[in-house]
A = this chain, B = another copy of it.
Amino acid sequence: KDILEDKTVLKAKFEKLLKFERLESLTPHAWVVVRIDGRAFHKLSKQHNFEKPNDLRAIQLMNIAAATVMHWMPDIVISYGESDEYSFVFDRYGSRYPRSTSALVAQCVSLFTGAYVKNWRMCFGEDCRLKTLPVFDGRSIEYPTNTSLRDYLSWRQADCHINNLYNTAFWGLINLRGYSNVEADKKLSGTFSRDKRALLLEMGIEYDEEPTIHRKGSVIYRKRVKARTQNKLKAASAIVREARKDGRSA
């Protein structure tokens, strides 16, 4: 009963409980990457009839969510997104983000998910209500050298390329040639890049002319802007906000 009487007594009594909390701290001066990726997004994309192989509304929503994370986390210098994943790179000498691994991952995931749910309607419209909760996984990785960070980003972009080439061919076979999923998968199994490109050409698709955002993924970085330009931008976005309000109240 005594511990209910005074915050000081409470602290004294339960201070030992704090020792159970393991602190996983990030190494100073290392590049820190937080990578977020959707869980079971295959199911979510089916439930909401995402266009295949790429749904521009879904990509834009990912980009808006990522830009929101960058807005709240000033130490992120660059972000890279593809499919249902996004990587955030924190300034190796930055000091404005939590040094505990789980706090950093938690805050990024919380911001990303919140922005994703909040902006769903804007990207998918009134008719496509969000039927299920998107769930994102997260992890943090440390890169001690510039080379290893560059390798990481190349890796994710190569992953994007290979998946997108496959998906473009796969859905081409289904949408243009009437293949079933199983048939399309069988047709592509064991093929190399040049085979898939040739197959796409047969269907009238020149792969290198597909939209860059699908072939390369999305990159968000900060741009230094003069104060005067910044004020103009603020004014413009205020007008947009007003227009939106009018639209809603109409």
Contact = CB atoms under 8 A, between A and B. Distances in A.
A30 B143 CA distance: 8
Contacts of A99: 19
A22 B110 contact: no
A106 interface: yes
Given A4-B162, A135-B114, A148-B29, A142 B102 contact: no
A50 interface: no
A103 B155 CA distance: 21
Contacts of A102: 101-102, 105, 138-140
The contact size tier of chain A is 35 or more
* Identical subunits present: 4
Given A105-B106, A144-B30, A21 B114 contact: no
Contacts of A144: 27-31, 92, 142, 144-145
Interface of A: 3-7, 10, 14, 16-17, 19-25, 27-31, 36, 39, 68, 72, 92, 98-103, 105-107, 109-118, 130, 133-145, 147-148, 151-152, 154-155, 158-159, 161-162, 192-194
